[in-house]
């Protein structure tokens, strides 16, 4: 590859990377092109501009997409089914009402944060919001509290789990790219995620709820007020079903910590059931009984639930695949190595670097998934040249950066605006600030944790 403007080979690669990422950002954010198509075009552009053989670029794109989706697509599909069973059975409402009863009306905003955190583990942010918004309206009406004081904690719980806690796609992408340990990532994500959600949720929610007074949209409030005759499942069985995949994954990691060489057949067994695909598969099958047959649903009902929930996941799966293609071209073209060399020579803090890269792409494109997949490709080579860094914390830093400063180019921004009946300005002052607090507090906690692990 020839250099430009007399720059070195590494500097030329960085210029073409900047051009490709600028193309990606402009066409997604300004011209509203489909992110999947734009990611593929950006990957092809980068490969060709960097001097790769055209057919090698195509192979890199196909290999990157296939390699990324090999496991992630299964995780997304199974996680969506588990969330659907929770929604149809009334499990989310059971968790919410039980926690509200336990915490009491004066501390209800604290319980809402835990509701968002727990319910968010098996479902996408958008699904969790749709699932829980009726509960927000109901609790606000019953307690006569500000809608945002109830809603912001739930949003904080949902959002931090979406960005940091496996098996959500964003952290799973980084875990794969950085070759991190799943169980340790889950453990650290809970240590970081809960305090961040507390600051951005109940604490900030109480502050902003007093300053922005909004009422639910009349048509939605009326619609969600209508209750069916469904008998809600028990709190214990619902909570166990939702947390079962996390329990199995943690058990697998714990077994390997106790027996690193996997000399015992029990270690092999726990490692098997603790694999994210197997853990989710076991949990989904268990949910068919605990939240399905045990609740009176027929086999036809369960088959319909598990089929119809998959259609909405097609877009996010394709975007993740496109991000994987772009990531692979970054690596195969030598860009990743060039960035790694420069970052290493500059003695950059890798955790801060990962957060910053993800944050910049998130702010520009509005997509946490695009931010996570693109940042993973940029950060992975840098991480490989710094073997002493805790890779699980780099996963969390990348996830924290991917949720910062949601604004008008983010679909989640508009969902929150419409559901909470706010103006754009009010949404910026509440939702956008909440997301930024989540991200920055999480980064601070990750940096602090890095001093000890």
The tokens describing 15, both together, are 């210029």
Between 396 and 116, the higher pLDDT residue: 396
Query: Average pLDDT in the 341-368 region?
Result: 77
pLDDT tens-digit map of 262-283 = 788 888 998 899 887 888 899 8
Is residue 226 predicted with pLDDT exceeding 50? no
Of the chain, the end-to-end C-alpha distance in Å amounts to: 42
Q: Can you tell me the distance from the alpha carbon of 448 to that of 453, in angstroms, rounded to the nearest whole number?
A: 9
The predicted model gives 187-201 an average pLDDT of 93
Query: What pLDDT does residue 124 have?
Result: 67
**Contact residues for 207 (Cβ-Cβ < 8 A; gap 6+):** none
pLDDT band at 213 (very low <50, low <70, confident <90, very high): confident
Q: Find, among 321, 393, 347, the residue nearest to 169 by Cα.
A: 321
For residues 116 and 129, give the distance between their C-alpha atoms in angstroms, rounded to a whole number: 9
Q: What is the mean pLDDT of residues 321-340?
A: 76
Closest CA to 379 of 358, 409, 364, 402: 358
Q: Report, as an integer, the average pLDDT of 207-229.
A: 67
Structure tokens at 268: 């092999």
Q: How confident is the model at residue 227 (pLDDT cuts 50, 70, 90)?
A: very low
Which pLDDT belongs to residue 447? 94
Q: What's the burial of 51, exposed, middle or buried (CB within 10 Å: 0-12/13-18/19+)? A: middle
Of 16-20, 80-84, 305-309, 337-341, the poorest mean pLDDT is in 337-341
Q: What pLDDT is attached to residue 399?
A: 92
Residue 374's CB is within 10 A of a number of other CB atoms, namely: 30
Could you read off the pLDDT of 286-305 as tens digits, one per residue?
999 998 898 888 889 899 88
> Residue 158: how many CB atoms within 10 A of its CB?
29
Chain segment 105-123, per-residue pLDDT in tens: 678 888 888 888 877 776 6
Instruction: Give the tokens for residue 391.
Output: 């890779």
What tokens appear for 168 in the block? Answer: 């959500």
Q: How far, rounded to the nearest angstrom, does the alpha carbon of residue 449 sit from its chain's CA centroid?
A: 21
Q: What are phi and psi of 211, to 5 degrees?
A: -105, -20
Q: Rounded mean pLDDT of 165-192? A: 85
User: Which residues touch 324 (CB under 8 Å, ≥6 apart)?
Assistant: 64, 65, 67, 68, 69, 173, 373
Q: In whole angstroms, what is the distance from residue 75 CA to residue 276 CA?
A: 7
């Amino acid at each position: 590859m020839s250099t430009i403007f007399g720059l070195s080979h590494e500097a030329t690669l960085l210029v073409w990377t900047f051009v490709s990422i600028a193309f990606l950002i402009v066409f997604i954010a300004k011209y509203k092109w489909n992110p999947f198509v734009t990611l593929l075009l950006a990957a092809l552009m980068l490969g060709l501009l960097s001097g790769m053989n055209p057919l090698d670029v195509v192979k890199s794109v196909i290999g990157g997409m296939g390699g990324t989706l090999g496991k992630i697509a299964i995780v997304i599909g199974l996680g969506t089914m588990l969330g659907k069973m929770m929604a149809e059975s009334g499990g989310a409402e059971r968790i919410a009402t039980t926690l509200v009863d336990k915490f009491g009306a004066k501390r209800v905003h604290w319980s809402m944060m835990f509701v968002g955190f727990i319910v968010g583990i098996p479902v996408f942010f958008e699904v969790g919001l749709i699932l829980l918004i009726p509960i927000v309206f109901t609790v606000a009406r019953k307690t006569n509290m500000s809608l945002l004081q109830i809603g912001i904690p739930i949003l904080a719980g949902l959002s931090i789990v979406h960005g940091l806690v496996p098996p959500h796609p964003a952290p799973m992408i980084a875990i794969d790219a950085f070759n991190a340990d799943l169980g340790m990532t889950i453990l650290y994500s809970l240590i970081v995620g809960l305090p961040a959600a507390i600051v951005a949720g109940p604490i900030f929610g109480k502050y902003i709820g007093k300053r922005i007074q909004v009422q639910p949209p009349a048509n939605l409030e009326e619609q969600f007020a209508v209750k069916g005759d469904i008998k809600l499942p028990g709190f214990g069985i619902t909570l166990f079903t939702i947390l079962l995949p996390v329990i199995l994954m943690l058990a697998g990691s714990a077994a390997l910590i106790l027996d690193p060489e996997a000399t015992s057949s029990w270690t092999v067994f726990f490692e098997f059931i603790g694999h994210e695909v197997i853990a989710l598969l076991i949990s989904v099958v268990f949910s068919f009984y605990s939240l399905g047959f045990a609740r009176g649903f027929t086999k036809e009902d369960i088959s319909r639930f598990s089929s119809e929930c998959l259609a909405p996941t097609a877009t996010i799966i394709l975007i993740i695949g496109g991000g994987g293609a772009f990531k692979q071209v970054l690596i195969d073209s030598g860009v990743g190595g060039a960035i790694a060399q420069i970052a290493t020579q500059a003695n950059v803090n890798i955790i801060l670097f990962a957060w910053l890269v993800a944050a910049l792409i998130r702010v520009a494109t509005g997509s946490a998934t695009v931010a996570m997949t693109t940042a993973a490709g940029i950060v992975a080579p840098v991480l490989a040249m710094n073997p002493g860094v805790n890779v699980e914390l780099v996963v969390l830093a990348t996830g924290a950066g991917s949720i910062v400063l949601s604004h008008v180019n983010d679909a989640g921004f508009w969902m929150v605006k419409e559901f909470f009946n706010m103006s754009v300005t009010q949404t910026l002052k509440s939702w956008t600030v909440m997301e930024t607090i989540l991200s920055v507090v999480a980064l601070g906690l990750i940096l602090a944790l890095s001093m000890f692990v």
